[in-house]
């Protein structure tokens, strides 16, 4: 059975009662709605990028926004990512809040000079006089049988850059709230959208981001499923997969907690500590290659806060240190259910000495 079939409706909703403000949406619809509202609420926001205007983006995330908000505020740019990001920096210097899109993760590489040397540093260089409220949307990660450079996981690259913040939603509800929040921040945020989850529908509570947390900002990590025996740490598309794994493990009596990191910078170290202090075991799952991946950072944060009570070293289940493969091999590359279960097994069976 392929992972994609399994994943269909796997994201378990933990809420008992459904609030009246809840509606079912795909992540694409949730992101589109968030952008629509951001444009309406802040006249300084602008959306632009390749095919973002008339077409509504190749993933239709900006669908209808140009017609509604005008071609001045939602527009197409020439096909040059460094230009898009350099222009964003200049617009931010002029007091705007740009929400640019690079069409695919791999297309961010030509813009790295502007992202790293300019966008991430202008607030610092200008001694705080020229903030960079730029929300860079990046359709990210793999899983859609796309051409080369359309399945990259760049979170470690961006998280390593001083001056950037990085966030990735795991489902439509998180997508709506995290994007609305990111697009009102005064600092640059890399918003990594899991493109393999764009079309999955789920409940979105438009009024409340986090249960019992009225009006709170969607900062930090979020427990998407509570458990007692082991913590799976994930973000983006891997959260849904970890929820599936947790469901399967439960059949064997293993009670797994799934912690959706959400913010990849800053990482919510306290939430990691709180979860793993309880479960005493952790496996971090990501699509990006293993070496120097964000899993290493997560493992270190857990080790630092939970070393005395950990039952086993933090395990990493990740992509491999290889260029992202062609579609035929991508299921071999992306952590699948079996590999995550093996990782869990290694941790559960670990014996000291």
Partner 1 sequence: MDTLPAASGEAAEPLTPAQLRELYSLMVAVRHLDTSAIAWQRQGIIPGYAPELGQEAAQVGSGYAVDTTRDFVFPTYREMGVARTMGVDMVAYMSTHKATWHGGLYDPLESRLAPIQAVVAGSVLHAVGWAHGQTLSAAAGTTAPPGVALTYFGDGASSQGDVHEALNFAAVLKAPVVFFVQNNGWAISVPTERQVAGGSVAARAAGYGVPALQIDGDDVVAVVEATRRAFAHARAGNGPVLIEAMTYRRGPHSTSDDPGRYRSLDEERDAAGADPLERFRQRLLADGIADDAFFAEALAAAKAEEEQIRAGIQALGPRPGTEMFDLVFQETTPALQAQAANWREESEHV
Contacts of 57 (CB under 8 A, 6+ apart): 49, 51, 63, 101, 103
Q: Is 155 left (phi over 0), alpha (psi -120 to 50) or beta?
A: alpha
CB of 35 to partner 1, least distance (A): 18
Using the contact rule CB under 8 A, the part of the chain among 90-98, 250-258, 275-283, 319-327 near partner 1 is: 90-98
CB of 44 to partner 1, least distance (A): 10
User: CA-CA distance, 283 to 344, in Å (whole number)?
Assistant: 7
Q: How far is CA 24 from the centre of its chain?
A: 20
Angle between helix axes 294-306 and 269-279 (nearest 10 degrees) is 60
CB distance 167 to 189 below 8 Å: yes
Of 69, 97, 150, 177, which residue is the catalytic one? 150
Q: Does 130 bind partner 1 (CB under 8 A)?
A: yes
For partner 1, the closer of residues 28 and 114 by Cβ is 114
Angle made by CA atoms 289, 291, 294, in degrees to the nearest 5: 75
User: CA-CA distance, 339 to 306, in Å (whole number)?
Assistant: 25
Q: Does 96 bind partner 1 (CB under 8 A)?
A: yes
Residues 98-127 that bind partner 1 (CB under 8 A): 98, 113-114, 117-118, 122-127
- Annotated active-site residue 149? The verdict is no
Q: Give the dihedral sign, CA 206/140/286/277.
A: negative
Q: Does 235 bind partner 1 (CB under 8 A)?
A: no
Residues 260-289 that bind partner 1 (CB under 8 A): 265-267, 269-270
Binder among 1, 78, 212, 351 for partner 1 (CB under 8 A):
78
Q: Does 165 bind partner 1 (CB under 8 A)?
A: yes
Binder among 67, 94, 211, 216 for partner 1 (CB under 8 A):
94
User: CA-CA distance, 23 to 173, in Å (whole number)?
Assistant: 9
Binder among 2, 5, 72, 212 for partner 1 (CB under 8 A):
72
For partner 1, the closer of residues 41 and 270 by Cβ is 270
Q: Which residues bind partner 1 (CB under 8 A)?
A: 43, 46, 72-73, 77-78, 80, 82-83, 85-96, 98, 113-114, 117-118, 122-131, 162-163, 165, 185-187, 265-267, 269-270
Residues marked as catalytic: 150
């Amino acid at each position: 059975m392929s992972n994609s079939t399994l994943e269909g409706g796997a994201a378990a909703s933990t809420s008992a009662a459904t609030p009246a403000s809840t509606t079912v949406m795909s992540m694409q619809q949730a992101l589109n709605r968030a952008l629509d509202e951001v444009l309406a609420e802040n006249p300084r926001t602008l959306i632009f990028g390749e095919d973002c205007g008339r077409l509504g983006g190749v993933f239709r995330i900006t669908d209808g926004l140009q017609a509604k908000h005008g071609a001045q505020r939602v527009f197409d740019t020439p096909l040059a990512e460094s230009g898009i990001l350099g222009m964003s920096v200049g617009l931010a210097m002029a007091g705007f809040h740009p929400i640019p899109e690079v069409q695919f993760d791999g297309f961010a590489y030509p813009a790295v000079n502007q992202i790293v040397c300019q966008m991430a540093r202008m607030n610092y260089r200008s001694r705080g006089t020229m903030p960079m409220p730029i929300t860079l949307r990046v359709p990210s990660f793999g899983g859609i049988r796309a051409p080369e450079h359309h399945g990259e996981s760049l979170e470690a690259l961006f998280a390593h850059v001083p001056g950037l913040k990085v966030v990735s939603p795991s489902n439509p509800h998180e997508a709506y709230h995290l994007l609305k929040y990111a697009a009102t921040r005064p600092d640059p945020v890399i918003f990594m959208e899991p493109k393999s989850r764009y079309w999955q529908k789920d409940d979105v509570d438009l009024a409340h981001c986090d249960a019992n947390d009225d009006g709170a900002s969607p900062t930090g990590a979020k427990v998407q499923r509570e458990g007692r025996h082991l913590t799976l740490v994930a973000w983006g598309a891997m959260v849904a997969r970890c929820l599936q794994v947790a469901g399967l493990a439960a059949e064997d009596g293993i009670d797994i907690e799934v912690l959706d990191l959400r913010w990849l910078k800053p990482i919510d170290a306290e939430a990691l500590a709180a979860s793993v202090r309880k479960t005493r075991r952790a496996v971090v799952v990501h699509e990006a290659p293993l070496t120097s991946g964000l899993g290493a950072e997560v493992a270190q944060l857990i080790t630092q806060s939970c070393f005395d009570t950990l039952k086993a070293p933090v395990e990493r289940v990740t992509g491999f240190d290889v260029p992202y493969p062609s579609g035929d091999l991508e299921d071999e590359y992306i952590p699948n259910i079996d590999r995550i279960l093996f990782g869990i097994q290694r941790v559960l069976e670990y014996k000291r000495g």
